[in-house]
Chain A
Amino acid sequence: MTVDAWTATDGGSLLAAVVLLPFVGMLLGLPLGGRWLRRVALGMMPLGLVLALAIAAQWADAERPLVYLLGGWAPPLGIALRADGAAVAMLVAVAGVVCAIGVFARADFGLAPGAAESRSSFSYWLLLLAVWGALNLVFVSGDLFTLYVALELLTFAGVPLVCLAGTGETLRAALRYMLFAICGSVLYLLGAVLLYGGYGTLDIPLLAAAVRPEPIAWISLGLMTAGLLAKTALFPLHIWLPPAHGGAPAAASAVLSALVIKGSWFLVLRLWFDAMPGIVTPSAAQLLAGLGAAAIVVGSIVALRQKRLKLLVAYSTMAQIGYLFLMFPLAFEGGKLVQGAAMNAGVLQAIAHATAKAGMFMSAGLVYAALGHDRLAELAGAARALPVTLLAFAVSGVALMGVAPSGAYLAKKMLLDAASDSNQWWWVVVLQGGSAFTASYVILVMVSALRRPAVPLTGVQTVSKLSQWTALALAMSSLLLAFAAVDANRTQLIKNPLDVAELGTTLLVLLAGALLALGLPHYSLLSGSVDSPIRRYTTFPGVAFELLDGWLRRWTTATLLLILLGALFAGLMRVGHSA
């Protein structure tokens, strides 16, 4: 690391501005309230997007990370804000998704002329701005303590979004989320304190230069990683995710699922790739990605067993979180973690998921609003009543499956290359199999919605056209993300989706997905019947996974696993080092 990391660069003050902007919006909106709060919030969104794009332009110009020193004080005494490529990409993506969510939420949390201000809409806009500001701080923070504060801000903004409806069920989900998240944060803080005790700094580049493979670094990294995984809800620490994401209003679920979990995930990235790349071992990375693979299998199968659409989408988020961790073992070169193609693929995957999952939760919410329920078995006819919404669901599903030219496709391709280059064939299996699992629950929903209803649907509420098209726009942006992600001279990375080889893979994935969707759900995909002699056997694995999920989501199991994972990660750093 050169001296560059501690000198302010041109355009560095943009980093401070992009963090401050959402909070300024909050402070202005808080006293104004009501209609004006919404106007302020919606006004801040394009401003924030412009700022994020300005940072991206500045970063591309400078061809080096942007740095801003708060108050002109350089680390170790001062605090630096830094934006490298990953941070810039996340800043722009989050600003874009926030804008779309803002447009979508106008229908749910806007005020009809003359209506009194409701508490949930007042809270929603403030919390949306808070989540956005906290995320921006996570992306640009240059030291582990500022990151801790940013992460806590993100949690405090995310938890109330769960219980906007104020019912007992959602309050319980929010409380579980909060309590498990603070378990994670106290472990993170303990790790940070130990690091400070060992090396006398928490500034990331200074720490990266100082840290050595020794017990204090292993233990700190183990504790911090486990704490962050609890907040990201990576399997088996997903105790809080399904009820929280499944119970919140659609506009809030989209924020939680697309954005909030990316904050703690990004921090794992910072910790492993930036702060301690020298002491991270391949065996620890294998464990991390192994948890990811387990998340894909368990999350997808339990998603297929759900009776409600929103819970299905929540479990699919749990599965998709698994994908975000698959890149860690593929990013090693010569036994050291390096910031290369695999890390870029991980960031791309996160952006692809943020756009597609926001679109998916929006469509699930619109289905609920239109039909008055979201029971999967009774979705027949929904596609005819809400063609744009169901198209948005299908497109986001296809984007998540990794069909060209989606962002997930490009990320998967880069990871597959990395896996075959490093002879880790088992990750090829996980990456290809994961697509089939994703396909299975998309097929389940689409077939249910396309079925002809026994009695014509009546009493379908009209839902906002703008909201429907916003969901579709987000889904489309995820599907076309690969074009934005590669520069003009590397377009050969994107294959024609109708090419024979590509089409073959897609068909194979769909076929495997269809088989899963036929066998595992509660009711038969073909006849809609709940009970038949064959189904008793085919659904058996589904029931087994459901029981496993229920057991893992008990408080005692989850907290013990949290401690165990912390110890395992610390231990694997030791083992990998001596090997």
Chain B
Amino acid sequence: MNVETLFALAACALIGIGLYGLIAQPHPLRKLVAFNIMGSGVFVLFGALAKRGASAGLAADPVPQALLITAIVVAFAATAVTVALLLRLIEVADSASLSDKAPQGHRSER
């Protein structure tokens, strides 16, 4: 097994773990962490594809790296906005629950 395949398999595992977290974890912060794990999986996959797409004389295809930097910045911005929203929600509503109904005495879903 060459190194690209190894990285691609690791990427699949990360995407799978992230996806599970996004679906199954009720707390918004855990969902956000799951999103970041899944995002990392996509980034690793992109890196592996860049290595596979190397042309003569280059260690790897450089275009995916330029795109990756942008994608990482976007994911970082998404995380920052979500954390800011979450902090504000906890401040105002004293609960991080996402459900439509008013929280009944408990501070979070867990």
Do A and B interact with each other, yes or no?
A: yes
Residues of A within 8 A of B (CB): 76-77, 145, 148-149, 152, 155-156, 159-160, 163, 166-168, 171-172, 174-176, 178-179, 182-183, 185-186, 189-190, 193-194, 196-197, 200, 202, 243, 553, 555-556, 559-560, 563
Is the CB–CB distance between A200 and B53 below 8 Å?
yes
Please indicate the chain B residues that have their CB under 8 angstroms from the CB of A176 in the complex: 98
Is the CB–CB distance between A152 and B78 below 8 Å?
yes
Q: Which residue of B lies closest to A159 (CB)?
A: B81
| Interface secondary structure of B, over-half rule | helix
Is the CB–CB distance between A171 and B89 below 8 Å?
yes
Is the CB–CB distance between B49 and A196 below 8 Å?
yes
Counting from the closest, the 8 A-B pairs by CB-CB distance are A168-B93, A197-B49, A171-B89, A559-B23, A193-B46, A168-B92, A152-B74, A175-B85
Please indicate the chain A residues that have their CB under 8 angstroms from the CB of B77 in the complex: 152, 156
Please indicate the chain A residues that have their CB under 8 angstroms from the CB of B26 in the complex: 555
Nearest chain B CB to A237 CB, angstrom units: 14
Is the CB–CB distance between A156 and B81 below 8 Å?
yes
Q: Which residue of B lies closest to A171 (CB)?
A: B89
Is the CB–CB distance between B31 and A179 below 8 Å?
yes
B26, B78, B97: residue with the most chain A Cβ atoms closer than 10 Å: B78
Please indicate the chain B residues that have their CB under 8 angstroms from the CB of A167 in the complex: 92
B60: interface (CB < 8 Å):
no
Given contacts A152-B74, A166-B88, A175-B86, is CB(A193)–CB(B23) below 8 Å?
Answer: no
A-B contact number at CB 8 A: 103
Please indicate the chain A residues that have their CB under 8 angstroms from the CB of B31 in the complex: 179
Is the CB–CB distance between A178 and B89 below 8 Å?
no
Nearest chain A CB to B34 CB, angstrom units: 9
Interface size on B, residues (CB 8 A): 40
Is the CB–CB distance between B28 and A179 below 8 Å?
yes
Please indicate the chain B residues that have their CB under 8 angstroms from the CB of A77 in the complex: 63
Please indicate the chain B residues that have their CB under 8 angstroms from the CB of A148 in the complex: 71, 74
B70: interface (CB < 8 Å):
yes
Is the CB–CB distance between A197 and B52 below 8 Å?
yes
In the complex, which of the residues A178, A183, A185, A193 contacts B22, with contact meaning CB atoms closer than 8 Å?
A183
A178 to B88, CA, bound (A): 14
In the complex, which of the residues A145, A168, A185, A563 contacts B89, with contact meaning CB atoms closer than 8 Å?
A168
In the complex, which of the residues B22, B24, B78, B85 contacts A163, with contact meaning CB atoms closer than 8 Å?
B85
User: What are 23 A-B pairs with beta-carbon distances under 8 A?
Assistant: A77-B63, A149-B70, A152-B78, A155-B78, A159-B85, A163-B85, A167-B92, A168-B89, A168-B95, A172-B89, A175-B28, A175-B86, A182-B78, A186-B18, A186-B35, A186-B38, A186-B42, A190-B15, A190-B42, A190-B45, A193-B42, A197-B53, A556-B23
Q: Which residue of B lies closest to A156 (CB)?
A: B81
Residues of B within 8 A of A (CB): 15, 18-19, 22-24, 26, 28, 31-32, 35, 38-39, 42, 45-46, 49, 52-53, 61, 63-64, 67, 70-71, 74, 77-78, 81-82, 85-86, 88-89, 92-93, 95, 97-98, 100
Is the CB–CB distance between A179 and B64 below 8 Å?
no
A202 to B53, CA, bound (A): 14
A196 to B46, CA, bound (A): 9
Is the CB–CB distance between A145 and B67 below 8 Å?
yes
A160, A175, A186, A560: residue with the most chain B Cβ atoms closer than 10 Å: A186
Please indicate the chain A residues that have their CB under 8 angstroms from the CB of B88 in the complex: 163, 166, 171
In the complex, which of the residues A149, A166, A182, A190 contacts B92, with contact meaning CB atoms closer than 8 Å?
A166
Is the CB–CB distance between B52 and A179 below 8 Å?
no
A560 to B63, CA, bound (A): 33
Given contacts A145-B70, A172-B98, A196-B64, is CB(A179)–CB(B35) below 8 Å?
Answer: yes
Nearest chain B CB to A502 CB, angstrom units: 42
Q: Which residue of B lies closest to A143 (CB)?
A: B67
Please indicate the chain B residues that have their CB under 8 angstroms from the CB of A243 in the complex: 100
Nearest chain B CB to A191 CB, angstrom units: 10
